[in-house]
Amino acid sequence: MWLTAIMDDLEYERFADIYSVWTATAASTRANKPFYVEAYLSADGPVVELGVGDGRIAVEAAVRGRSVIGVDLSPAMLQLCRDRATRAGVLDRLTLLRGDFRSFELDEPAALIALPYHSLGHLTSLSAKRDALCHIHTQLRPGGRFMFDDFVMTPARLEHMRRVQLRAEYVSPDGHDTLLWVTSLIDEPAQTMRVVTWEDELDADGAMIRRRYRMLSLSWMTPAQAAGLLADAGFTVEACFGRFDRTAFEADTADEQIWIARKDTAT
Ligand SMILES: C[S@@+](CC[C@H](N)C(=O)[O-])C[C@H]1O[C@@H](n2cnc3c(N)ncnc32)[C@H](O)[C@@H]1O
């Protein structure tokens, strides 16, 4: 049973202030960023990033000349994105909308909708993911593409995620040496997990003066489930990669499942 007191729809409101440390120390962020930026730059029409977060990807695309519509549920994450775009001098290339993957509304249909960095997994049931994919399909123009990535969950990865890991050491905004720890509580049959992080702030003697916990709800799909949901939503799969270098998906060797799907012109 998960802790309910700190579980709600706005987990990222609490997570926002450690998000940059989180992504800077994640295994897949170095590879997924250039993959998505290149896709945004080569799209021939409106580009939308769902779960735009702090703009790690969208602002890079904007710096390289591409306008991006960013959608996110979390006001704190949208503010981080706005701040990053302002610092980069490209705020005018971003349109930021507060909305849910399952109900956002665009002024015009998109050429590309991307949902990077395992973020569809924040919807933790298959039916919620199906609702999101069906809604995304309605927001694309005929011939438009939807791309997203998900974990490839293996016994080794589950074991790794269950371990308590020291993720980062950094200096907190109020000047304290800080250790960021992470582990995950995993419900394998449900294909869900609670990522639990905690930061220990230390005094000059190394004694802990404050510990703060944060939690994120995540989930994963098997490749067969992902293919099934895409088909249910009316998409045609164009490609499934196993790595961000565009290696074709092979179940035994894939690091990720990266899907590119098209809304057919006749639908
Ligand atoms: C893992 S972060 C990804 C941020 C960014 N795309 C990146 O790659 O760094 C997931 C983001 O999705 C947002 N999010 C989670 N569930 C959402 C939902 N149902 N609708 C819209 N945004 C959501 C969170 O607020 C968070 O900013």
CA of 120 to the centre of ligand 1 (A): 8
How far apart CA 17 and CA 86 sit, in angstroms, is: 18
In a domain, 6, yes or no: no
pLDDT tens, 149-193?
Answer: 999 999 999 999 999 999 999 999 889 999 999 999 999 999 999
**Is 159 found in the same domain as 240?**
no
**Is 187 found in the same domain as 79?**
no
In a domain, 186, yes or no: yes
Q: How confident is the model at residue 27 (pLDDT cuts 50, 70, 90)?
A: confident
- Atom number, ligand 1, closest to the C-alpha of residue 23: 9
Measured from the CB, is residue 56 less than 6 Å from ligand 1? yes
In a domain, 4, yes or no: no
**Is 259 found in the same domain as 197?**
no
Pick from 42, 74, 40: nearest CA to 57: 40
pLDDT confidence of residue 5: 42
**Is 67 found in the same domain as 190?**
no
pTM: 0.95
Assign residue 19 the CATH number of its domain. Answer: 3.40.50.150
**Is 17 found in the same domain as 67?**
yes
- Atom number, ligand 1, closest to the C-alpha of residue 49: 6
In a domain, 2, yes or no: no
CA of 149 to the centre of ligand 1 (A): 13
- The chain-wide mean pLDDT, for the chain, equals 95
Scanning the chain, the segments in alpha helix (DSSP H) are 11-15, 19-24, 29-42, 58-63, 75-88, 126-138, 155-162, 223-232
In a domain, 1, yes or no: no
Residues 33-53 have a mean pLDDT of 98
Residues 96-125 have a mean pLDDT of 97
**Is 213 found in the same domain as 81?**
no
CA of 86 to the centre of ligand 1 (A): 20
Report the nearest-CA residue for atom 4 of ligand 1: 53
How far apart CA 217 and CA 115 sit, in angstroms, is: 17
pLDDT confidence of residue 28: 86
Q: In sequence order, what DSSP letters do the residues of 151-170 get, joined into one string?
A: E---HHHHHHHHS-EEEEEE
Range of the domain at 200: 155-219
**Is 233 found in the same domain as 210?**
no
- Atom number, ligand 1, closest to the C-alpha of residue 100: 20
- Atom number, ligand 1, closest to the C-alpha of residue 101: 20
**Is 229 found in the same domain as 132?**
yes
Per-position b or e across 195-206, b if 16+ CB within 10 A of its CB: bbbbbbbbeeee
**Is 119 found in the same domain as 132?**
yes
Are 36 and 119 contacting, i.e. CB atoms less than 8 angstroms apart? no
In a domain, 193, yes or no: yes
In a domain, 5, yes or no: no
In a domain, 198, yes or no: yes
**Number of structural domains the chain divides into:** 2
CA of 204 to the centre of ligand 1 (A): 36
**Is 208 found in the same domain as 85?**
no
**Is 238 found in the same domain as 185?**
no
Mutate which of 119, 216, 256 to test ligand 1's pocket (most atoms within 8 Å of Cβ)? Answer: 119
**Is 83 found in the same domain as 204?**
no
